[in-house]
Chains A and B, each alone.
Chain A
Amino acid sequence: MDWTRYADSHGSEGDAPVAYAWRYRDYLIRALNADVPYDQLVREHLAGDLLEAPRLNAALSLNESALGIGHLRMVLHGFAPTDALEELGRFTDDQINTVSKAFLGLTVSCARCHNHKFDPISQRDFSSWYGIFTSTAPATVAVDAPSSTEGALRAKIAQTKDALREVLVSAWRDDADTLAEKLTMPNAELAKAISGAKLPTALLHPFWRITQSRESTDALVSWRSVNNRSADGDAVRTELRHWDLRRAEDFAAWRHDGAGANGPSAAGAFAIAPDGDRILTGIYPAGVYSHLVSSKDRGVLLSPKFLLDEKHDLWLRLAGEGGAFARFVVQNYPREGSVYPVQKLVQAQQQWIKIPLEYWQGDRVHIELTTAADQPVLADPKATRSWFGLAEAIVTRTGETGPVGAVDFTEPVLATAGDREITTVADLADVFAAVARESLRAWATGTTTDAQALFLDQLLRAGLLRNRPDEIAAAKPLLVFYREREALLRVPTRAPGVIETGAVDQPLFARGNHKQPGELAPRRFLEAIDATPYSARESGRHALAEDLLRPDNPLTARVIVNRVWHHLFGRGLVATPDNFGRMGELPSHPELLDYLAVWFVEHGWSIKELVRFLVASETWQRSSTPPPGAAESDPDNVLLSHAPVRRLEAEAIRDALLGVSGDLKPDEMFGPPVLGDTPRRSVYLRVKRNDLDPFLAAFDAPVPSGPTGRRDVTNVPAQALALLNDSFVRTLAQHWAKRLENDPAAVEPAERIRRMFIEALGRPSTAIETERAQQFVAWAAMQDSSGAEATSPWADLTHAIFNLKEFIFLR
């Protein structure tokens, strides 16, 4: 995780979360435990989501491979940068820096502004990689394994919906037949609804108008005028871009991900309520909807990226509930901020919204719609149900009149009424009833228009079409059947990732200045190894993964072998594990490094095999006592004449404290991150960039700003102060003491002390140590503890043992 600068947040102001970051951490733990071959892990880190035969986890029903790309999202993100292109440059540089250092031991990002000063890496190399990583967009992705049952379930749900539609058509015909009567002689509830229908956007507004006015006026007057205005508006609009997502061709130009929102549906599409006292959630005009099978389904819909070459407005005709997100994305920036607005969708009825883009003139943007748990940064992991529907997206010039359409459902009413003035309730009720019958007929035959769908939806919401299972007996079993099947559909497993957005080569930036683009650099590997451009279709991540692993690339295997060596011996054969370039150190044992790299590949890239091989070596098994003369001839022990003394890493110290105290819950693995006072292994602690765990930080846990192959090992008083005075450490010492004080097998003091040494230091106490410890406990028992936190004398001893250097140093 150091190598890929793991973090749960993006840093900067607000320090927004990397949604589901922990799933990548869990992936690494499972992969290392299962000894997944390293070449496969490399592949997955670059392109796990694109593999034809991904690695599946049957037990967890996961596509493990797809989790590998999570590190691409662990970048630092500024807050609401006014220069979005610079931000894109910075976080893409962050991705390149991580990939090139972690896997190649090369500093490719040094070539952002100019050719590398020391290594054969050109600025063109940087730019070609820049094109690879910018041909994607940050995303929350699904990592579920394909299901053997889900397809059948979905087919059953589709059948159920067809059957339900028939039942509803026949029930609602009766409703339509009695509609005129109902509207003419409204019951108390309906009368109340009419009296509240003051606004023209209300279905019952014409009835309100008639009941309000004493003289005879046309009930439809305000609908007619609104409709005229909308027609005028259409006339003066410059539609610079118009995506009509009701059409398959337009939809095909967009990217989509997830089981929902995977294609346009015709007007009259409907969704069934997954719970509660309603049958349907709504009936919709044509468009792309995420919830027609289930509102658990995730939907991600991305428009093509487009350049704002002048001042523009964006218009979206959409609907959504449950906090689904709609926004425009500038230069792939995934966070929300002052000039990065986000719409949280909470309105089931379709509407046009206007989003000014004027501010971003000159930048590339795209449109992003996601269900509530699927926005890359704002995702709410608990929002298991939400949905959106999008029909059209239009880009106009700033300030132009946009489409209106909030009262589109009036169209069939006006068409039926014609030029005739409607001045009586009876007349008006007849018109409504006629429209209802006609709309239902269309709905039954699959020829619904958008306006008819909207009208039916209005009737449904107004309670003029029955929508409760106890009102339509025949619908009840179908509803129950749907809900049973729907409950079996999986809640998608989400993880941080990226989505391919179409391959685009990027220009060289003169001296790294993003405002001075030069010639285009085709996406490809490093030219020192192979300068062949990648396919024009894909971003190139997959090809890059294979190039990292090609046999004539000498670095990848050597870099990982060296990392493992570093981990075991405290110093790599190349002492700069992240830098195999000229500015790195030369290998201390070059032939050994070559040998191990070849051996490693021959043994199936198995990290466990490699570790086993190394720890079985005579070198590993040497004593830490230097042989005579070693201090003079090789003071830094580069030649490994003896085992190096090493301090435990921060996480190991904390885990040891917890483990020895007995508080550690070693079996609680995986899941969302926890805070430092939770007795779980440190690998599960939250890594919030602006609020790093102070205990781990004191013991040199790295700041996750870039890959760290070699941690610092410092010796600062904060470490001693933490072990002496931190209340967490003191509490653990007390728990440890109490545990042994209550242990019937450790009643006798000498035995208790012996056990303490075994538990903390892995060896029994010597006779002298036992005696000293007993003396100390006896002495501590006599001390005046007034005015301080009281502890038992045995806790004074356990706390002392935590402070032994032998506790944190390995020799």
Chain B
Amino acid sequence: MTTPLTRREMLRRCSTGFGFLALSGLMAQKGYAALRAPAPDFKPRAKSVIFLYMSGGVSHLDSFDPKPLLAKMAGQPMPVKVERTMFNKNGQIFPSPFEFRNYGASGIQISSMFPKIAAACSDDLAVIRSMTSKVNEHAQGNYFFHTGFPTMGHPSAGAWINYGLGSANHDLPGFVVLQSGNAVAPHGGVGLFSNGYLPAQHQASIIKADVANAVANIMPRERDALQRGRLDFVREADTAFLRKSAGDAQIEAAVKNYETAYRMQSAVPELVGIAGETEATKKLYGIDDPHPTKAAYARQCLLARRLVERGVRFVELSCLTEGIGSGGAPNPWDQHGELQKGHAAMANQVDQPIAALMTDLKQRGLLDETLVIWAGEFGRTPFSQGANGRDHNPFGFSIWLAGGGVKGGTIYGATDDLGYHVVDKPVSVYDLWATVLHLLGLDHTNLTYLSGGRNFRLTDVHGNVIREILA
């Protein structure tokens, strides 16, 4: 006697469980047959990357790069040449309204914006205080940071890494962008997460961490039995068509693709659901925090851990807007005005969830193999914009790395006493990605793809590994 399969049983029997990507289908096509096997150039120190992108531009002067001189010169004009700014409403020197303290054995200075990160993991951080960008504007800055080029059309770092390493879990997408609440793609749009000229399976899948329809069209609009019946009908007809087409590989792949899609419909909600997490874990992240934006960001952080646990290569998180000082949904950290209020609110949104993520990764032994990157597209000016804001500053700003292969408790590079320009060990986006690729076991000069007659790289024709921050 046969009994009809339940959906859960169906899933189990299909065993591979969950796969956005129908790799088999892609591999069957010409050009994709030579998918790079994961053959690292070096011994990898990390397997996955979590990219905490602080879109809009966090002020380094108020977070990780204390400048006492600003307080001494408060209200005075800048003593050096002021470069072109985005808004040209340049005021006088504007000291940080936040207080800095030394934390941990390393004594890294962190401002009162991030007390929980400071307490949880200051000795794990390698703070780069000499980050630079070539671009002074959000969309181009975002593209530059993500792809190494300031305009759309090039592959995102997450796509490059997946292309370089291959998938660690063929049932999961290798590159996931998380969103929740009011989060949207940064300025420049979803092209920031594109595969560019790389094969399509390397593009990001956007997963909404807090809604049922977490991936576009993932929710069936009919009862499962009906859909299953229709799929059976379709498969039977497709099988005949495939036979008539002499087993054409493209058609065969498209047929298989439907099984994958079907499985995803239940697998995605299961992945996004956090019912299995303990109350203690949820509390650690702040999943039920009364601040809705913080609770929403906490969900992304928790889901990020669940994804790297399952071998996802690259997870990017998206901040939510607090609606303060021209910080909109695509650029929530963009406090051209009301810097103190806006940065405090944004920091409150991400501080506990990020601290929790670091703690959780450590507890589970995942931090050793996960590289965490915290960065925005540029920093902010030491002089005010208008009364109480700061304009964009790409000439020197701070980011941090932690986890797999990173020497914690490190400070690398420096800006001048005003925090305006880099004066020591400038770091470019190319250097950053060269270092990230290195930690993943890849030589950035070897990771190339031929497009339009030219071999492209994530690091263009630049990039040096920052060895001093390597453990």
Contacts and interface: CB of A to CB of B under 8 A. Distances in A.
Interface of A: 11-13, 15, 76, 78-83, 90, 101, 107, 110, 118-119, 338-339, 359, 576, 578-579, 581, 583-584, 624-626, 636, 645, 647, 689-691, 694, 700, 703, 705-706, 712-722, 724-727, 730, 769, 772-773, 776, 779-780, 783-789, 791, 796, 799-800, 803-806, 808-809, 811
B213 to A, nearest CB: 9
A742 to B, nearest CB: 23
B257 A715 contact: yes
A583 B454 contact: yes
A689 B191 contact: yes
Contact of A805 (B86, B201, B251): B251
B152 interface: yes
Prevailing SS type, chain A contact patch: loop
B153 A691 contact: no
Contacts of A716: 20-22, 200-201, 257
A783 B223 contact: yes
Contact of B194 (A703, A719, A779, A786): A703
A726 B450 CA distance: 35
Contacts of B416: none
A490 B260 CA distance: 58
Contacts of A107: 452-454
Interface in B376-432: none
B223 A800 contact: no
25 contacts: A78-B137, A81-B140, A82-B84, A110-B453, A119-B453, A338-B86, A576-B453, A579-B452, A645-B250, A689-B189, A703-B191, A714-B200, A714-B201, A715-B250, A715-B254, A716-B21, A719-B257, A721-B261, A724-B261, A788-B221, A789-B221, A804-B241, A805-B242, A805-B251, A811-B248
B26 A721 contact: no
Contacts of B446: none
Contacts of B222: 785, 788-789, 791
A578 B26 CA distance: 23
A81 B136 contact: yes
Contacts of B236: 772
Contacts of B231: 803
B245 to A, nearest CB: 5
A772 B239 CA distance: 14
A720 B258 contact: yes
Contacts of B26: 714-715
Nearest to B32: A714
B467 interface: no
A583 B453 contact: yes
Contacts of A806: 237-238, 241
A784 to B, nearest CB: 6
Contact of A705 (B19, B153, B216, B220): B153
Contacts of A624: 245-246, 248
B138 A13 contact: yes
A13 B234 contact: no
Question: Which of A578, A714, A717, A773 has most chain B Cβ within 10 Å?
Answer: A717
A714 B32 CA distance: 10
Contact of A780 (B30, B217, B229): B229
Report the 5 A-B pairs with minimum CB-CB distance, sorted nearest first: A705-B153, A690-B189, A720-B261, A714-B200, A715-B25
Contact of B216 (A713, A718, A772): A718
B17 to A, nearest CB: 13
Given A690-B188, A717-B257, A724 B237 contact: no
Contacts of B199: 712, 714
B141 to A, nearest CB: 9
B264 A717 contact: yes
Contacts of A725: 217-221, 265
B216 A721 contact: yes
Interface in B162-199: 187-191, 194, 199
A713 B29 contact: yes
B344 interface: no
A81 B257 CA distance: 43
A716 B227 CA distance: 19
Contact of B152 (A76, A81, A785, A804): A76
Given A13-B139, A76-B153, A720-B257, 17 more contacts: A12-B137, A83-B84, A107-B454, A110-B454, A578-B453, A581-B453, A690-B190, A715-B26, A716-B201, A721-B261, A721-B264, A722-B217, A725-B219, A725-B220, A730-B221, A780-B230, A811-B245
B29 A80 contact: no
A705 B151 CA distance: 8
B454 A776 contact: no
A716 B264 CA distance: 12
A724 B263 CA distance: 13
A799 B220 contact: no
A186 B258 CA distance: 86
Contact of A636 (B25, B30, B226, B230): B30
Interface residues of B, number: 76
Contact of A803 (B225, B258, B260, B454): B258
Interface in B14-64: 19-22, 25-26, 29-30
Contacts of B248: 624, 645, 809, 811
A13 B26 CA distance: 33
Contact of B84 (A78, A118, A339, A784): A339
A799 B138 CA distance: 43
Contacts of B153: 76, 703, 705-706
Contacts of A803: 230-231, 234, 258
Contact of B227 (A338, A694, A700, A724): A724
A717 B20 contact: yes
B88 interface: yes
Contacts of A82: 83-86, 136-137
Nearest to B261: A720
B216 A338 contact: no
Given A647-B250, A706-B153, A804-B234, A788 B453 contact: no
Given A78-B140, A718-B216, A791-B222, A809 B246 contact: no
B244 interface: yes
A306 B72 CA distance: 42
B150 interface: yes
A796 B226 contact: yes
Contacts of A101: 452
Contacts of A578: 452-453
A303 to B, nearest CB: 22
A119 B227 CA distance: 55
Contact of B223 (A80, A730, A776, A784): A784
Question: Which of A79, A714, A722, A787 has most chain B Cβ within 10 Å?
Answer: A714
Interface string B144-159: 0000001111000000
A118 B455 CA distance: 12
Contacts of B452: 101, 107, 578-579, 706
Given A107-B453, A690-B189, A13 B264 contact: no
Given A703-B194, A720-B261, A721-B217, A689 B152 contact: yes
A799 B230 contact: yes
A339 B88 contact: yes
B137 A81 contact: yes
Contacts of B450: 583
B139 A703 contact: no
A575 B89 CA distance: 53
Contacts of B187: 12-13, 79
B225 to A, nearest CB: 6
Contacts of B274: none
Contact of B226 (A714, A720, A783): A783
A776 B254 contact: no
B233 A800 contact: yes
Given A82-B84, A724-B261, A805 B238 contact: yes
Interface in B64-88: 83-88
A339 B86 contact: yes
A790 to B, nearest CB: 9
B386 to A, nearest CB: 12
